[in-house]
Structure 1
Amino acid sequence: MSPLRLTVTARSLVFGGHAIARRLGKTGVPDRSVAETWECSDVEGAGSVVADGPLAGVPLRQVVADHPEALMGAGWSGPYFPVLTKFIDAAGTLPVHLHADDETARRLERQPHGKTEAWHILDAAPGATALCGVKEGVTADRLRAALEAQDFDAVLRRLPVRAGETLYVPGGTPHSFGPDTLVYEIEQTSDIQQHAMRWNMEDGSPVGDAEFGANLDMLMRQVDLETRPDFTPGLGIAVDDGVERVFLCAGPYFALERWRAGTAEPLRHSFATAQILSNAGAPVRVRTGTWSGELGRAETLLLPAVCEEVEITGPADVLFGYLPDLDRDVRRPLLDAGHPPRIIATLGAGAPARKRARPVPCDRP
């Protein structure tokens, strides 16, 4: 299998703008306000399709079914691709919302798993902030009353947002970010969510009292009052002269790294599981095996596990997202670099060191 260029889904939501095209330089984006581009997706109804090459026209889900180990790595099996990535332009403020965790999704949403996510801040205006997590000591009754009054700062933590930092957001955590914030998001393959707003994020139309009350009822059944994640600058390890590798976040559902090369010497990365390679900088030349191609600004390639190694000509600024074996792919290299276990754990909001999570089979992620 060669690297896969995938189709992209662009979503025009009320908080979007034009930064994905104008600031990141992504081409092919509709000439209108765009809030999100789904770069690698196997969500039902918004799944990526291979755009060129021998598998052109094949949905990502079919690639998973036909080539599970070649794509994902030895011993892997599952009905869909388990990681979703997006560029998000929060020109305005996102609605306050949450995504269920695994147990709650199975119990209340009839879904196989929830949606833990992480935000890597690509750019943010001075003074930008995010809401994430319930303030310590806030009870369920107090939270409900504040959400009804739309008084979010009374009960939710407001965090400063800075470019280059990353926040791992466990399922069940109420959150929002923006305005003037540009994000690369990685998450479980899911689109379940519960909102706390009196307006619809699709078009800004008002939400009626009955619907708003029902939304809050479900949100309160899913909220976790105890999760209070914080931004982290990530953990770096030495690679080559002029090459920087930073682990931005890592947990049982996904990991994200940012690699920068400041010279014309190639950046080389070996891997054993599929890599979602997204370009955060200028166009670069990518080579793996006999395949070679250009990766433009804000473009994405899916590198199958069978490729095993990729070489990217510098200067480069790229992101690698993947489903990790935490011991092999994250803990071991960071421990070898001298990072203590308690610090490594903060990359996943204190997530324990576990082997790669196996998604529960389901036809409706």
Structure 2
Amino acid sequence: MSAHRTGGKRPGLYPLRLTVTAKVLVFGGHAIARRLGKTGLPDRSIAETWECSDVEGSGSVVADGPLAGVPLRQLVLDQPEALMGAGWSGRHFPVLTKFIDAAGALPVHLHADDEAAQRLEGQPNGKTEAWHILDAAPGATALCGVKDGVRADQLRAALEAQDFDAVLRRLPVRAGETLYVPGGTLHSFGPDTLVYEIEQTSDIQQHAMRWNMEDGSPVGDAEFSSNLDMLMQQVDLDARPDFTPGLRVAVGDGVERVFLCAGPYFALERWRAGTAEPLRHSFATAQILSNVGAPVRVRAGDWSGELDRAETVLLPAVCGEVEITGPADVLFGHLPDLDRDVRRPLVEAGYPLQAIAALGAGARGVETRESRT
């Protein structure tokens, strides 16, 4: 590993299996192992597994092959374009993905947007995220966004009283749907909800709860008041996102591509294939490939391997193409060129710009630019 850090000859990039960080939090359960089938987890209530992470202190490391032991952060610095795509540069991998088991309800909280993160938290970026619902109990709901007409003082009073339904929107949750959650949006989901989450690389957050999510211990009055002070400086009173079923495109005999969400920070797609022909996907930016179905055989160039249930592999941009033998049910998360990777294939499939815009806040910028030309 030291040779890679000190300028020695670096091995070329290949599909990268990464180490996974398991988070033990009070709202977790056993669904990631027992329902998704993920192996290698401790026999404890696991709330989250961080599948691809460059968050400080919880960063992924390459788990196998010639680059085994090299942190993802180091690959970003050493081989930015081979990893992320032509013309890209940055100091960290920009996308974070997780499986989340909300066996219990998550705390009501928000993540700062970029501006607030830089101004108030001393962080380089905030955290916009999206939830793709893998499974949910009948009647499951999520809180997301402040009700229309609620003033800041009303919100603060309700949060102090822990009366969340008085001021927050409660939405029905259904498996297969996706919610794009801009930074600054108050939210929570669970119980009995299993989610794949994609987001900006950040662990920044402000809570509105009187308990700590790490161990359930009480939050004292002074700390609680300070938390609400910071939260109220960061909350977006106008953010009211809604779930979407995504936009489907047939790309082969029994092969379906569903655009789940898309914005300037990430896009997420779900691909399914039968056995008539393999799933083939060409790409120009790094792809976080997570398997949410039965084990599959993955091939990229000279590399071939099996991706088990709930496993993830990072496909560097230099790979360019992947083939997956069906039956397959997989997710691709990536940092998109919105026009090339999202708008163009959806317009060619016949979708109007309004429908594309509903996939995420960033896609609306594409609509605006195009409407002016």
TM range, smaller chain: over 0.9
Q: Does 1:305 align with 2:317?
A: yes
- In the other structure, the counterpart of 2:221 is 209
Pick the aligned partner of 1:286 from 285, 298, 301: 298
Offset at 1:64? 0.7
Query: Which structure 2 residue ranges, 5 or more long, are not aligned?
Result: 1-12, 368-373
| Structure 2 residue identity aligned to 1:242 | G
- Determine the structure 1 residue equivalent to 2:353: 341
Which residues in structure 2 correspond to 1:1-365 (within 5 Å)? 1-263=13-275, 265-349=277-361, 351-353=363-365
Q: How much has 1:250 moved relative to structure 2? A: 0.1
Decide which moves more: 91-100 or 235-244.
Answer: 235-244
Structure 2 letter corresponding to 1:119: W
Task: Tell me how far 1:58 sits from its aligned partner.
Answer: 0.2
C-alpha root-mean-square deviation of aligned residues, in Å?
1.0
For 1:217, give the aligned amino acid: D
Q: CA deviation at 1:354?
A: 5.1
1:93 partner amino acid: A
Per chain length, whose mean CA-contact separation is higher, i.e. which structure has more relative contact order (CA < 8 Å, sep 6+)? 1
| Distance in 2 separating the partners of 1:113 and 1:350 | 16
Give the conservation status (yes or no) of the 8 Å contact 2:130–2:199: yes
Q: Which amino acid letter does the alignment assign opposite residue 145 of structure 1?
A: A
> By how many angstroms is 1:237 displaced?
1.0
Q: Deviations over 1:197-218 (max 9, x none)?
A: 0000000000000000000000
Q: How many angstroms apart in 2 are the aligned matches of 1:37 and 1:90?
A: 12
Matched residue type, 1:156: L
Deviates more, 1:94-103 or 1:256-265: 256-265
Shift of 1:19: 0.1
State whether residues 253 and 276 of structure 2, in contact with CA within 8 Å, keep that contact through their aligned partners in structure 1.
no
User: How far has the Cα of 1:349 moved from its partner?
Assistant: 3.6
Q: State the alpha-carbon separation in 2 of the partners of residues 67 and 28 from structure 1.
A: 30
Which residue in 1 is equivalent to 2:6?
none
SS at match of 1:239: strand
Tell me the residue number matched to 1:363.
none
- Return the offset for 1:345: 0.5
Length, aligned pairs only: 355
Deviation at 1:112, TM superposition (A): 1.1
What secondary structure does 2:359 align onto?
Answer: helix
1:265, CA displacement in angstroms?
A: 2.2
SS in 1 for 2:330: strand
The Cα shift of 1:181 comes to 0.1
* Distance in 1 between residues matched to 2:366 and 2:200, nearest whole Å: 16
Alpha-carbon distance in 1 for matches of 2:301, 2:176: 31
Structure 1, unaligned stretches of length 5 or more? Answer: 356-365
CA contact (8 A) 1:264 1:313 kept: no
Supply the distance in 1 between the matched residues of 2:296 and 2:319 (Cα, whole angstroms). 18
Shift, 1:238, TM fit: 1.6
Distance 1:350 1:174 in 2: 19
Per-residue deviation, residues 310-344 of structure 1 (Å, max 9, x unmatched): 00000000000000000000000000001001110
- SS of 1:224's equivalent? coil
Distance 2:222 2:116 in 1: 23
1:64–1:79 CA contact under 8 A, matched in 2: yes
Distance, in Å, in 2 between the alignment partners of 1:142 and 1:214 is: 17
Q: Distance in 1 between matches of 2:30 and 2:366?
A: 39
Tell me by how many angstroms 1:263 deviates.
Answer: 1.8
- CA 1:84–1:350 in structure 2 vs 1: closer, same or farther (change >3 Å)? closer
Q: Distance in 2 between matches of 1:219 and 1:354?
A: 30
Q: Determine the structure 2 residue equivalent to 1:361.
A: none
Could you tell me how far apart the structure 2 residues matched to 1:264 and 1:151 are?
53
The answer (yes or no) to whether the contact 2:254–2:276 under 8 Å persists in 1 is: no
